[in-house]
Chain A
């Protein structure tokens, strides 16, 4: 059969694809261990060192290379991501809940929400900057940039919750209502615990998308920079391995976040299973 020949070829292709996907990052990680402050962002590695990692934490003596302007921008980005996460998850759950019933105009509402994740950042950024100019509002990271971040992440939260509600067994809610429990209390006690894994995923999406968001923030955040903007600022000048070291550190931070998510997910699944067993016995 021909496919016995095709499968290994595709396997090799996929392996090459992964090399293509990971190659640049691998090179970046290697170069982050370049010696400093005189080692440049290219091969060969003059001497292996952790100089640039220490440089990020301000543990190296001052040199001609300016330290990365990350401290305040990191705090801003984290706060902004938190705010975005909370608001877009709440909006996402509410909207998805609304979509469980057919209502007039649901088609338009759906497209309007999905448009938020499709519209290019540079466009909506420009738009909100114009609106702010006309209204005479200052552009700030916690104002104009924040509303745009929600415009971007809310559709993701919405779609995640929609998928969760699709597989949701509504009879447990109906059982609760038929026992005379109010809808609000039913949502809190029955629905929410069941959809909690979905809520966690929606939160994770919103947080990471906002934390890394760049093109929407560029025109809308005004004077105070968020982390991606601070990184972008270093692009135009000469780059140094400190930005590579920083890239490695942020990736590790992301993995830490992913690990927390995995732990919370396992815990909630285990709790649900325990409850199920209690019910049966």
Chain B
């Protein structure tokens, strides 16, 4: 019966419905968006590459091609140092967000069976985003400072006898701040992937006598990998392009590539800022490309 009726609908479908020619109109619909992106995203990025080869004098730049700015970058310890600082902070923050985020995602995505509760927990994770980004960064100052909340609590519990100076205006404070700001981007995708695991698979493994460790290694971890990769891409792209957290929480002591761009633009050294922009673009490109190689996202999602 059902087979018959669906066939009947199929045979009716074709002649009756006259589809407007949508293929041509698809181009008209997509054109404004693509044009906008080409003009205001692609052209500026190409411009950065181009200007990085311009000649920079003290007060202006001229479109005479030279590799001078590039040589200056690699000859300077400060700038190459900023490249290493960026890579170091990125690796540490990526690891920390994973360490902080994965167990939470595991709990929310897999252990909470109640849909309402797991949604509520995810919403709780997202609520801080309704506070301005800069305010969230700034909120770490009264936390980490010498007379800050953490030092007061540590002293009240007699864990430390004197306030710890090293908490604020160091690389540590930058890492703590970034971990808190970006860890949610890790929790979301991982929890999403974990939520899609068929509970019967875990049940079957358990019935066959597998312990939690084994189940985690052979089922949960591999199935959550696409989430880990997506989360890592989010966190990496954002951390690599960071400068505000670094300057606000390190007292301008920690300089990432983004910070150098800001100072160079501030002193109108456009060609030099462009060199760093190109290096940043290449770095992000390499990181994203290698993360995409870990898991074939198109197949997994």
Residues of chain A having any CB pair with chain B under 8 Å: 1-3, 6-7, 10-11, 13-14, 17-18, 20-25, 27-28, 31, 41-43, 91-92, 94-95, 97-101, 103, 106, 109, 112-113, 115-116, 118-124, 126-131, 133-134, 147-148, 150-151, 154, 158, 174, 177-178, 183, 208, 212, 214-215, 218-219, 227-228, 231-232, 235, 239, 243-244, 246-247, 250-251, 254-255, 258
Question: In whole angstroms, what is the CA distance A6 to B261 when docked?
Answer: 46
Given contacts A43-B149, A94-B33, contact A212 B132 (CB under 8 A): yes
The winner among B41, B103, B238, B265 for most chain A CB atoms within 10 A is: B41
**Would you give the shortest CB distance from B157 to chain A, in whole angstroms?**
15
Q: Are A94 and B104 in contact (CB under 8 A)?
A: no
Question: In whole angstroms, what is the CA distance A119 to B280 when docked?
Answer: 10
Given contacts A129-B265, A151-B40, A208-B130, contact A14 B104 (CB under 8 A): yes
Chain A contacts for B107, CB-based, 8 A = 7, 10-11, 13-14
Q: Are B33 and A27 in contact (CB under 8 A)?
A: no
**Would you give the shortest CB distance from B263 to chain A, in whole angstroms?**
12
Q: Are B44 and A120 in contact (CB under 8 A)?
A: no
Q: Are A127 and B270 in contact (CB under 8 A)?
A: no
**Would you give the shortest CB distance from A277 to chain B, in whole angstroms?**
25
Question: In whole angstroms, what is the CA distance A118 to B233 when docked?
Answer: 9
Interface string of B1-28 (1 = CB under 8 A from A): 0000000000000001111101101110
Question: In whole angstroms, what is the CA distance A97 to B111 when docked?
Answer: 38
B128 at the interface (CB under 8 A from A): yes
Question: In whole angstroms, what is the CA distance A183 to B183 when docked?
Answer: 45
Q: Are A178 and B18 in contact (CB under 8 A)?
A: yes
Q: Are A122 and B243 in contact (CB under 8 A)?
A: yes
Main SS of the interface on chain A? helix
Q: Are B29 and A228 in contact (CB under 8 A)?
A: no
Looking across the interface, which residue of chain A has its beta carbon closest to that of B16? A178
Main SS of the interface on chain B? helix
27 contacts between A and B (CB under 8 A): A10-B107, A11-B111, A20-B100, A21-B124, A23-B149, A24-B136, A24-B143, A27-B148, A28-B135, A28-B138, A31-B142, A103-B26, A103-B30, A113-B33, A113-B34, A120-B237, A120-B284, A121-B241, A124-B41, A130-B47, A151-B41, A154-B37, A215-B243, A235-B248, A247-B138, A247-B139, A254-B131
Residues of chain B having any CB pair with chain A under 8 Å: 16-20, 22-23, 25-27, 29-30, 32-34, 36-45, 47-48, 51, 100-101, 103-104, 106-108, 111, 121, 124-125, 128, 130-136, 138-143, 145, 147-149, 152, 180, 183-184, 206, 211-213, 233, 237-238, 240-241, 243-244, 247-248, 258, 261-262, 265, 270, 273-274, 277, 280-281, 284, 288
Partner of B262, one of A127, A158, A218: A218
Question: In whole angstroms, what is the CA distance A247 to B23 when docked?
Answer: 49
Given contacts A129-B265, A150-B40, contact A13 B29 (CB under 8 A): no
Partner of B20, one of A24, A183, A235: A183
**Would you give the shortest CB distance from B53 to chain A, in whole angstroms?**
12
Q: Are A126 and B184 in contact (CB under 8 A)?
A: no
Chain B contacts for A21, CB-based, 8 A = 124-125, 128, 180, 183-184
Q: Are A131 and B43 in contact (CB under 8 A)?
A: yes
Q: Are B44 and A127 in contact (CB under 8 A)?
A: yes
